[in-house]
Amino acid sequence: MFLCARNGQQLNDTAAAIKAQFPSCTIHTKVVDMSIKAEVLAFGNWCLQFGIPDILINNAGQFIPGAVHNEEEGVIEKMIETNLYSAYHLTRTLLPKMMEQPSIGSGRHVFNICSIASLQAYSNGGSYSISKFAMLGFSKNLREEMKPYHIKVTAVMPGAAYTDSWAGSGIDEKRIMEADDVAKMVYAASQLSPQACVEEIVMRPQLGDL
């Protein structure tokens, strides 16, 4: 397993938590800012030194609220760099090797973590929503391109899930999904036969979006 994040302490804590639950799992970590192309490329090539990945989860993301007409200068660039280019550049680094030879089991799989914001514009979404619409478009194109290579591509579009970004928001954590809910759906989709691909996963809190 390969993990990266900007915050080294959080990265180590996450790796330790996974290791505690799955002692036999080998985890490699690297501090990376996924909004910086050079760091993304270096991370991808570093991963390939250990072998060819079977599953890639593009999960780097950042949310800056605002509206197109008045958000600060540079927000659109930051959202695109973090929420779209990170996945684009990492996928392009890893895919050639993934395409060279088939994988065993359920086959190779790319998961792109999009958002409900990829489907529906909303107030205060601004450039974040634009970047997530683009992420969904990237996923749809990649799905078509990878069919002949038997590499699955799934776009994951979760609504509000309780993570650190919601801590201190005042929202009752029982009103929104658990982060594990999203992880369980990704895992389930990865376990299907090679003949089946879940193209899109749409998840919302039981009571609907906030």
Residue 28 has pLDDT above 90, yes or no: yes
Q: What number of other Cβ atoms are within 10 A of residue 195's Cβ?
A: 8
What does the pLDDT look like over 84-115, one tens digit per residue? 999 999 999 999 999 997 676 778 999 999 99
Q: What is the per-residue pLDDT across 162-178, written as a single tens digit (0 to 9) for each?
A: 887 777 788 888 999 99
Domain count, the chain: 1
Length of the chain: 210
State the CATH number of the domain containing residue 104: 3.40.50.720
5-30 average pLDDT score:
96
Identity of the amino acid at 106: S
Reported confidence tier of residue 208, pLDDT bands at 50, 70, 90: very high
Tell me which residue range forms the domain holding 179: 53-203
> Does residue 69 form part of some domain?
yes
Q: What is the pLDDT of residue 164?
A: 75
pLDDT in tens, 120-166: 998 999 999 999 999 999 999 999 999 999 999 999 999 999 887 77
The stretch 69-84 carries a mean pLDDT of 97
Residue 91 lies in a domain: yes
Residue 161 in domain: yes
For residue 7, is it within any domain? Answer: no
Residue-level pLDDT at 45: 98
Predicted pLDDT of residue 112: 98
In a domain, 28, yes or no: no
- Would residue 13 count as lying in a domain? no
Q: Give yes or no for a contact between 72 and 65, defined as CB atoms under 8 angstroms apart.
A: no
The pLDDT of residue 106 is 73
The predicted structure's pLDDT at residue 192 = 95
- With respect to residue 36, please indicate whether it lies within any of the assigned structural domains: no
**What is the average pLDDT across 3-25?**
96
pLDDT value of residue 31: 98
Task: Indicate whether 184 pLDDT > 90.
Answer: yes
Is residue 52 pLDDT above 90, yes or no? Answer: yes
b/e map of 94-128 (b: 16 or more CB within 10 Å)? Answer: bbeebbeeebeebbbbbbbbbbbbbbeeeeebbbb
pLDDT at residue 105, rounded to an integer? 72
Whether residue 41 is contained in a domain is answered as: no
Per the prediction, the chain carries an average pLDDT of 94
Q: Which residue has the higher pLDDT, 106 or 80?
A: 80
